[in-house]
């Protein structure tokens, strides 16, 4: 990619060198296609694609990119929902030696333009349903190569070239798989931008391989597994922990375009899904979906939760109702997804996010950058280093330097470890409420709110207060038919937490704003 080799994890210039080794992440697909050619790699509403077919289609896509003048190290924006073309394009871009830049399909033109410009993208592959916004963004930053994926039920795009044209070639005898250095950037994933402009985390071929190999074994993924993929593939959780893991272990992906509990239940039954991976709000929605029965999810053998700490009430109720074990993990964009994980019912601690995976170290630091001793009284910032940590933020040496201290990545999350090494997430550092000098962790209050029988969703934030500095406010959505009042909720929490912790303000909402993975967007509530 143009410019990538000029930005290291610490930001300074470095000289280009011939690779001492070569490895392309797309090799995972090539190997699974050799060993399981006829096995379904993808199931979707319109049919299925085998591993051999996926390998061939992505070969054609890679050749098509080369024929259009795209070169190794060029960045290519990939802005598609969970459709087969995302997977084809993803591996095609990698095979061509280019850099994948997955992009949220909900972005508007200025947001898309910022990311395309920041990573110096040469092309954008977008979807017909958002093609007009994509075209505006591409034009704004001078991206001339615009390809549009048309899908049934969506009016064909009137801008750009049909992405299908990139498949109109014969790759036989070419077998494209560009050789790159394992430490070269494979993917740039942009952060959500809740603390300013989004930053592009550079994830290498080797890091993404390791975050498929190690978590996949910890998840216990097998070649006979069917994994429902409803997490957006443009998000690191879906990309790394689902797409890459499934392809590495030749499992089958059942693609769902967007989360809808009824649709997910339908797909689980139809495809005999064995693994469900989701964020807490998805488990909550499935748990409370009217009419759901044990038969609907009988094929599931495991549930995996990440993206945010799952409330204890949801975890307990789901496991009790369906008898399906939920294993919780922790990670972030900058760590290529997985950092810690509970590996099994024999080696897990309920409500923790597990222990560091192989090749990863986790420490908890205080404000003086000293390592804290184990124990729930010793809450500090979670620090990470290891094979999964990004090279840095692309084209942003200042942000990269600020993200690291002595080689350790600042996660911005608060937590503690117990004496057995299990990590517990307390809250986001930026979400901490300091009320009259006392630290209040919103997640603790949210856990209590979720135990109220009439509350559907809850989010707690700090609001300015002239006397105490910050006061506690809870946003609530209630279950259908609820008659609970503001004072009843305040009294309910007041009975269960210390006097300085209960919310003094309650605001009822018809619905909460959610991000692409389903997390509640607290920045829109403040």
Question: Cα(520)–Cα(32) distance, rounded to whole angstroms?
Answer: 37
**Residues in Cβ contact with 526 at an 8 Å cutoff, skipping those fewer than 6 apart:** 461, 462, 463
The pLDDT of residue 517: 77
Two structure tokens written together for 508 = 């009822």
Closest C-alpha among 185, 190, 194, 2 to residue 112: 190
pLDDT attached to residue 520: 87
Q: Is the dihedral of CA 309, 313, 314, 319 positive or negative?
A: positive
- Which pTM was predicted? 0.85
Report pLDDT for 401. Answer: 96
The pLDDT of residue 280: 87
pLDDT at 18: 53
Query: Roughly how many angstroms between the first and final C-alpha of the chain, as a whole number?
Result: 39
Instruction: Give Dmax over CA atoms of the chain in angstroms.
Output: 74
In this prediction, residue 20 carries a pLDDT of 63
DSSP sequence for 104-152: -TT--HHHHHHHHHHTTEEEEEEEGGGHHHHHHHHHHTT--EEEEE--T
Positions of the chain with pLDDT lower than 50, given as ranges: 1-15, 194
Residue 272's DSSP bridge partners are none
Q: Give the pLDDT score at 193.
A: 55
Q: Residue 172 has what pLDDT?
A: 78
Residues in the chain, total:
526
């Amino acid at each position: 990619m143009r410019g990538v080799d000029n930005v290291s994890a610490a930001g300074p210039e470095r000289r280009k060198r011939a690779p001492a080794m070569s490895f392309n992440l797309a090799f995972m697909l090539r190997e699974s296609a050799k060993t399981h050619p006829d096995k379904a790699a993808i199931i979707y509403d319109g049919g299925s694609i085998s591993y051999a077919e996926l390998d061939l289609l992505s070969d054609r896509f890679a050749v098509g990119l080369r024929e259009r003048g795209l070169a190794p190290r060029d960045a290519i924006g990939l802005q598609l929902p969970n459709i087969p073309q995302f997977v084809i394009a993803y591996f095609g871009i990698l095979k061509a030696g280019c850099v994948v830049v997955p992009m949220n399909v909900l972005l508007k033109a200025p947001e898309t333009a910022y990311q395309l410009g920041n990573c110096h993208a040469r092309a954008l592959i977008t979807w017909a349903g958002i093609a007009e916004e994509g075209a505006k963004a591409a034009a704004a930053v001078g991206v001339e190569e615009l390809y549009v994926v048309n899908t049934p039920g969506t009016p064909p795009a009137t801008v750009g070239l049909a992405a299908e044209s990139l498949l109109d070639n014969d790759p036989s005898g070419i077998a494209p798989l560009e050789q790159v250095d394992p430490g070269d950037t494979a993917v740039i994933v942009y952060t959500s931008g809740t603390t300013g402009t989004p930053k592009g985390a550079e994830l290498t071929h080797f890091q993404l391989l390791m975050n498929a190999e190690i978590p996949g074994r910890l998840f216990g993924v097998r070649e006979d597994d069917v994994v429902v993929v409803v997490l957006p593939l443009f998000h690191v959780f879906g990309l790394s922990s689902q797409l890459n893991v499934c392809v590495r272990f030749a499992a089958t992906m059942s693609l769902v375009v967007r989360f809808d509990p009824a649709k997910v239940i339908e797909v689980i039954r139809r495809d005999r899904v064995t693994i469900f991976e989701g964020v807490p709000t998805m488990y909550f929605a499935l748990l409370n979906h009217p009419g759901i029965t044990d038969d609907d999810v009988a094929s599931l053998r495991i549930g995996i939760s990440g993206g945010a700490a799952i409330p204890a009430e949801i975890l307990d109720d789901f496991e009790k109702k369906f008898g399906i074990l939920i294993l919780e993990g922790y990670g972030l964009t900058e760590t290529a997804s997985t950092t810690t994980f509970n590996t099994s019912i024999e080696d897990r601690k309920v409500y923790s996010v597990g222990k560091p995976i192989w090749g990863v170290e986790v420490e908890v630091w205080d404000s003086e950058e000293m390592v804290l001793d184990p124990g729930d009284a010793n809450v500090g910032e979670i620090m990470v280093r290891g094979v999964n940590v990004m090279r840095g933020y692309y084209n942003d040496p200042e942000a990269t330097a600020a993200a690291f201290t002595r080689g350790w990545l600042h996660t911005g999350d608060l937590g503690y470890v117990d004496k057995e090494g299990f990590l517990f997430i307390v809250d986001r550092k930026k979400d901490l409420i300091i009320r009259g000098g006392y630290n209040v962790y919103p997640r603790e209050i949210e856990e209590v709110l979720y135990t109220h029988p009439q509350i559907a969703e809850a989010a707690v934030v700090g609001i300015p207060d002239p006397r105490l500095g910050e006061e506690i406010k809870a946003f609530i959505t209630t279950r259908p038919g609820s008659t609970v009042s503001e004072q009843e909720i305040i009294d309910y929490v007041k009975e269960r937490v210390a006097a300085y912790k209960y919310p003094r303000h309650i605001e009822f909402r018809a619905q909460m704003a959610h991000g692409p993975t389903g997390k509640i967007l607290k920045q829109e509530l403040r």
